Amino acid sequence: FTGKPVDGYLVNRIVGTRALCAALGRAQERASPMGSA
């Protein structure tokens, strides 16, 4: 809890490592046949 709004909280963007991006991509590919992506 910061007690005030955090700059960038509502921005439609994610910042992460290449490994994180790759893992999210794999998760999306696995979820797609289930109708979840």
Residue type, 3: G
Domain ranges of the chain: 1-37
Residue type, 7: D
Q: What is the 3-state secondary structure (H, E, C) of the chain?
A: CCCCCCCCCCCCCCCCCHHHHHHHHHHHHHHHHHCCC
Residue 37, pLDDT score: 56
Per-residue pLDDT of the chain (37 residues; tens, 9 = 90+): 889 998 888 898 888 999 999 999 999 999 988 876 5
- Residue 29: partners with Cβ closer than 8 Å, 6 or more residues away: 37
What is the spatial distance between Cα 7 and Cα 9, in angstroms, rounded to a whole number? 6
pTM of the model: 0.53
